[in-house]
A and B are shown apart, each in its own frame.
Chain A
């Protein structure tokens, strides 16, 4: 039982520190190498903006460091595919960039920071369908916090975190926020 108080909340230790984030990215990179094994050239990592994009680039860099094979990276903005546009205000769009060679017949791994309702992933799947026909699509996330609203699951998970709906999972990445950390804030645990 938590008591509400007027005092400022004590600093919350991060769910994942910078070292943890680096370790998790390395582990997922190894898992991807193992899974894609002989045909790494076939693999395309597609980040979902905002924070999925730098995560995809980091994964690609680690895979190249471990295996010596460069991996194609892209981003796909899902704003125009969201099913909640009417519930929220319009938002600025972000980059959509795919490798020159496209995604037809390849293994596409979507990369996002947090897996929550699954609606972003559904929007990303809709966007991919308009962009080409991959051989298979998989999903890699830094944090899976549960509370799915759609039958969607991740193939690669950095960390599973049980949360309550009212809590917030904040992912900070050096490329955007200046430092790497994952925080769990608000609500009752």
Chain B
């Protein structure tokens, strides 16, 4: 493993498998225990540096670090000296001077974690940067697929929706193909990134044609905050063509699962009856997120500094 986790390209197949196996072992070690805490990172400090709103990812990282007995400092841009105009670099150097062993960073600018990694000694974990990557989300999705289907090699995954703005999609394409899955992107042409034809994926504009051949359907959130141009005519039309409702779910094979990284727009990209169905892994994904992040923090911070 490298010192940082900035993008899924930092993980080759062996590393990614190590993270997933470590996750499984941690879950097993903590299963059914009253004291869900391990002493592994005692005395280490993890800083959650969040320049963008987030509930589940920040809480998930916080819980993961606390379950490994690390000291956790939460830093959000609101109400900090960032709102007084402090730069990312000065913030980083301040945290460095306080002795942070690990920095978990979310930032609206793509590439911010890479810059940060050049300025600090500790390990940097990308918790989402702009429209670039969100590697721990892809790891927890891969873990969830392996848990439900028992394998990743040859699994057919359809990623549906706003691929253009989605760091979740970008990270999942990279990681899932590294692990041997076959990925199909399904989106209106306006929501596919330029250069998608060079990605190791198939592309389709027709959800109904893809669903019967998918083992996994991963719905992406329609990001209202990034809909600053006319990417589609209306929410109703988007929902009709690319939303997953009960009728479409009936076209899936018996074992197929439905995933969503959250937060969901119920009734928009995913119908409530789908989100609450037994096929849905949405709640399991949240639970697995904590274990996956524990594995990542252990593998990055647990050993001897190089």
Chain A residues with a Cβ under 8 A of chain B: 77, 80-81, 85-97, 126, 130-131
Name the residue in B22, B68, B302 with the highest tally of chain A Cβ atoms < 10 Å from its Cβ.
B302
Query: Chain A: which residue is nearest B306 at the CB level?
Result: A89
Chain B binding surface SS class: loop
Quote the shortest CB–CB distance from A125 to chain B (angstroms). Answer: 12
Once the chains are docked, how many angstroms separate the CA of A86 from the CA of B28?
24
Whether the pair A81, B22 counts as a contact (CB closer than 8 A) is no
Query: Chain A: which residue is nearest B302 at the CB level?
Result: A90
Q: Produce 1/0 per residue, B281-306, CB < 8 A to A.
A: 00000000000000000110011110
For chain B, residues 20 to 51, give those with C-beta under 8 angstroms from any C-beta of chain A: 21-22, 25-26, 28-29, 33, 35, 37-40
Is B18 in contact with chain A by the CB < 8 A criterion? Answer: yes
Once the chains are docked, how many angstroms separate the CA of A87 from the CA of B37?
22
Once the chains are docked, how many angstroms separate the CA of A172 from the CA of B21?
25
- A-B pairs with the 3 shortest C-beta distances? A90-B303, A93-B25, A96-B29
Q: A80-B40, A97-B28, A126-B39 given as contacts; is B22 within 8 A of A92 (CB)?
A: yes
Chain B residues with a Cβ under 8 A of chain A: 1, 18, 21-22, 25-26, 28-29, 33, 35, 37-40, 68, 298-299, 302-305
How many contacts between A and B, using CB within 8 angstroms? Answer: 53
List chain B residues, Cβ under 8 A from A85. Answer: 40, 302-304
List chain B residues, Cβ under 8 A from A89. Answer: 303-304
Whether the pair A90, B1 counts as a contact (CB closer than 8 A) is yes
Once the chains are docked, how many angstroms separate the CA of A58 from the CA of B21?
26
Quote the shortest CB–CB distance from A72 to chain B (angstroms). Answer: 15
Q: A80-B38, A130-B33 given as contacts; is B304 within 8 A of A86 (CB)?
A: yes
Quote the shortest CB–CB distance from A164 to chain B (angstroms). Answer: 26
Q: Which of B26, B37, B305 contacts A130 (CB 8 A)?
A: B37
Whether the pair B304, A94 counts as a contact (CB closer than 8 A) is no
List chain B residues, Cβ under 8 A from A86. Answer: 303-305
